[in-house]
Amino acid sequence: MRIPTLAMSLLLAGSAYATTPETITLDVQNMTCAACPITVKKALQKVPGVNDVKVDFVHRTATVHLDADKANVALLTKATTDAGFPSAVRK
C-alpha cells in the first residue's frame, strides 16, 4: 500500500506546481529611443506570472512568456500603459 500512496502524493504535489504557459505578443506605442524598450521590459517583468520578456524596438513589439493562470492581457497592457507605452495584442 505504500507505493500507491507515495505515487498519489507525488502526483498531487506535482499538479500544485503545474502552470499554463502562454506567449503573447504586444504592439507597443510611443517607443522612440533605445531606452524605451528597457522601461517596457521592466514594467512587464513586474507583472506576477511573467516568466520572460523580449522587446523589439525596431518592430515596436514585446513578446511575453507567462503563466496564464497568474497573468493576462489586461495586466500586461495596464503595465505598459502605466509606464507610458500603451499596448495591444498583436493581430
pLDDT over 70, % of the chain: 80
Q: Is residue 89 predicted with pLDDT exceeding 80? A: yes
Please report the pLDDT score of residue 20 as a whole number: 86
Please report the pLDDT score of residue 19 as a whole number: 74
The average pLDDT across 3-26 equals 65
- Triad 67, 73, 74: Cα angle to 5°: 120
Does 91 or 58 have the greater pLDDT score? 58
- Grid coordinates of 49: 506570472
Mean pLDDT of the chain: 88
Q: Report how far residue 51's alpha carbon sits from residue 76's, in angstroms, rounded to the nearest whole number.
A: 12
Q: Is residue 9 predicted with pLDDT exceeding 90? A: no
Compute the radius of gyration of the chain from its Cα atoms.
Answer: 18
